[in-house]
Amino acid sequence: MGRIRVNAPPSIKPEVISLGCRLNIAESERMKAMLADSGDVVVINSCAVTSEAVRQTRQAIRKARRARPDARLIVTGCAADIERDQLADMPEVDGLIANAAKLDPRAWNVPLPEAPPPPTRTRAFIAVQNGCDHACTFCVIPQGRGASRSMTIAEVLREVEHHLELGAREVVLTGVDVTSWGHDLPGSPPLGALVAAVLDAFPQLQRLRMSSLDGVEIDEALFELFASEERLMPHLHLSMQHGDDLILKRMKRRHSRADAVTLVQRLKARRPDIAIGADLIAGFPTETPEHHDANLSIIDELDIVHGHIFPYSPRPGTPAARMPQVARETVKQRAAELREAVAVRRERWLHSLVGETLSILAERDGTGYAPSYARVDLPEGTPAGKLIDITPRSIEGGLLR
């Protein structure tokens, strides 16, 4: 659709609505800063990882139009590339910005900023890597994000410094395929080198957290930091996807079930309090009841307490879409069983934290997060950004209280 003019009365502030991954959250913060003086504009930073994500994107577009009928409504993000024609046909949409151009001021017709890093939240999300060089058979994200590319260590350190100056108490390193960071840089440094550089450069940084990682690509330096560095949060979220080796092979993943089990066992032996999360897909094509049982059992074997469960949905143009499909009702049922298994495991884990003193980083909504990413309901009036020691006495609604 070309370049979008977003200039409007300065008394009306722009809004950026972020869907999907933590990388989108980080990019949305940059767009908010870039468009701060653009007036009555709403940006939908979309997701296309599943058919459900696309549905939620369309829903967000309609909701935003109802809320701000006079605004100029622009869609960017992965769905703006992968579902471009369908979104362009929506009457609510005024224009689309290609995902690769969404952080380029020229695409929005706004001045080039002198200081591009955005204002920060309590936690600062820093996109150290973008794109993906892999070809998982179910995934369309490389179509929306392109090839893997990394920020240099110097660029990451400058951005971390900026966020710390603005008051961030926790930094989250994120990306599309974070463990591929550095593969395109001179000398191909491992991700552990970047994490060590951040921790060494900023002794005042109390909490560093990693977003979703491909466990088989965790290098030894990063493993040692997870095992022994208190400022690196004891929270590992694995891009696991499934618990059965044949399904993993058909997904074209690079790890086996045994790889994941060995990694978690090694980490827990060194750091018993580490909390494990994982992405799991239910009902992948050709999945039998036995494959599903393996998916269920990996939850207990890895002690998964932060589970992201995705019912498989075919994405056009992917190899998995051409494989024999599992019936939709079966997919939904298996996803519900996976969610229930994670909920049982998580409830048991939360009960183990009752009575334990936890260091909590307060958020703006009256809750906060422990180092293990357990969510805690905080005393009324706790200021956002404050680190506070809390001893929870009960659990209610999935929160420690």
pLDDT digits (tens, 9 = 90+) for 305-341: 999 999 999 988 899 999 999 999 999 999 999 999 9
pLDDT digits (tens, 9 = 90+) for 218-262: 999 999 999 999 999 999 999 999 999 999 999 999 999 999 999
Tokens 């993993």 belong to residue: 248
Amino acid at 181: W
Residues 6 or more apart whose CB falls under 8 angstroms from that of 397 comprise none
| Residue 2 in this model has a pLDDT that exceeds 60 | no
| Residue 395 in this model has a pLDDT that exceeds 50 | yes
pTM for the whole structure: 0.85
How many beta carbons lie within 10 A of that of residue 271, not counting itself?
A: 16
pLDDT digits (tens, 9 = 90+) for 352-379: 999 999 999 999 889 999 999 999 999 9
Least confident piece of the model among 69-73, 141-145, 246-250, 267-271: 141-145
Least confident piece of the model among 111-115, 193-197, 271-275, 384-388: 111-115
| Residue 5 in this model has a pLDDT that exceeds 60 | no
Q: In the predicted model, what is the mean pLDDT of the chain? A: 91
Domain ranges of the chain: 15-108, 123-353, 358-400
CATH of the domain spanning 123-353: 3.80.30.20
pLDDT digits (tens, 9 = 90+) for 23-62: 888 888 888 888 888 889 999 999 888 888 899 999 999 9
CATH of the domain spanning 15-108: 3.40.50.12160
On whether the CB atoms of residues 330 and 291 are closer than 8 A, the answer is no
Residues 6 or more apart whose CB falls under 8 angstroms from that of 208 comprise 170, 171, 172, 173, 195, 198, 199, 231, 232, 233
**H or E stretch covering 390:** strand 387-390
| Residue 3 in this model has a pLDDT that exceeds 50 | no
Cite the beta strand spans of 158-234 per DSSP E: 170-174, 207-210
Higher per-residue pLDDT: 165 or 141: 165
Of 121, 165, 151, nearest to 22 by C-alpha is: 121
Maximal C-alpha separation, the chain: 60
On whether the CB atoms of residues 111 and 86 are closer than 8 A, the answer is no
DSSP 211: -
Task: Give me the mean pLDDT over the 384-401 stretch.
Answer: 93
For position 104, what pLDDT does the model report? 86
**H or E stretch covering 247:** helix 245-251
φ, ψ at 27 (rounded to 5°): -70, -35
Distance in angstroms (rounded) separating the CA atoms of residues 369 and 314? 34
Please report the DSSP string for 65-110 in residue order.
HHH-TTSEEEEEEHHHHHTHHHHHT-TT--EE--GGGTT-HHHHT-
